[in-house]
């Protein structure tokens, strides 16, 4: 699997949201200033080449749909992010965000609760 550019990722997020869509449907959900139809169409063709998107033909019109689940790409992206920026260490990543005060105390407590629940689940099961 290949990493997506920001533009490709933006289109994929909209396609994951819509599940099936024509180019015009994707453009409608994009923020202003909206890109040209040809620009979005080109991005979708690139996504097809990368095997992220498939299509159904209705005459000369295509309706597009994701071939890759959002969760699958998120897992791939986060693994690469963790590896590239933190040497593959989740501990280093969490430390980076907590040291830079990007996470407030309430959020840290919620994260701790989630982690404790996951630890309990893994020990029990």
Question: Bridge partners of 54?
Answer: 65
pLDDT at 88 exceeding the cut of 80: yes
Residue 85 CB partners (closer than 8 Å, separation 6+): 93
Predicted pLDDT of residue 95: 86
Does residue 103 register a pLDDT over 90?
no
pLDDT tens digits, one per residue of 12-61: 999 999 999 999 999 999 999 999 999 999 999 999 999 999 999 999 99
* HEC secondary structure over the chain: CCCCCHHHHHHHHHHHHHCCECHHHHHHHCCCCCCCHHHHHHHHHHHHHCCCEEEEEECCEEEEEECCCHHHHHHHHHHHHHHHHHCCCHHHHHHHHHHCCCCCHHHHHHHHHHHHHHHHHHHHC
Pairwise CA distance, residues 89 & 108, whole Å: 18
Q: What is the pLDDT of residues 68-77, one digit of tens each?
A: 999 999 999 9
Whether pLDDT at 90 is above 90:
no
Quote the pLDDT of residue 50. Answer: 97
Domain 6-66, CATH number (from 3.40.640.10, 1.10.10.10, 2.60.40.1120, 3.20.20.70)? 1.10.10.10
Mean pLDDT of 87-111: 85
Domain coordinates in residue numbering, the chain? 6-66, 89-125
Contact present, 21 and 11 (Cβ < 8 Å): no
The answer to whether the peptide bond before residue 18 is cis (omega within 30 degrees of 0) is no
pTM of the shown model: 0.81
């Amino acid at each position: 699997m290949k990493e997506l550019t920001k533009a490709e990722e933006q289109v994929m997020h909209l396609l994951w949201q819509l599940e099936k869509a024509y180019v015009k449907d994707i453009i409608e959900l994009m923020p202003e200033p909206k890109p040209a139809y040809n620009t979005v169409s080109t991005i979708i063709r690139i996504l097809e080449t990368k095997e992220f998107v498939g299509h159904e033909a209705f005459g000369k019109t295509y309706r597009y749909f994701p071939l890759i689940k959002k969760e699958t790409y998120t897992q791939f992206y986060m693994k690469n992010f963790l590896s590239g920026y933190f040497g593959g260490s989740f501990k280093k990543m969490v430390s980076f965000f907590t040291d830079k005060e990007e996470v407030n105390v309430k959020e840290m407590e919620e994260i701790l609760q989630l982690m404790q629940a996951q630890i309990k689940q893994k020990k029990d099961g």
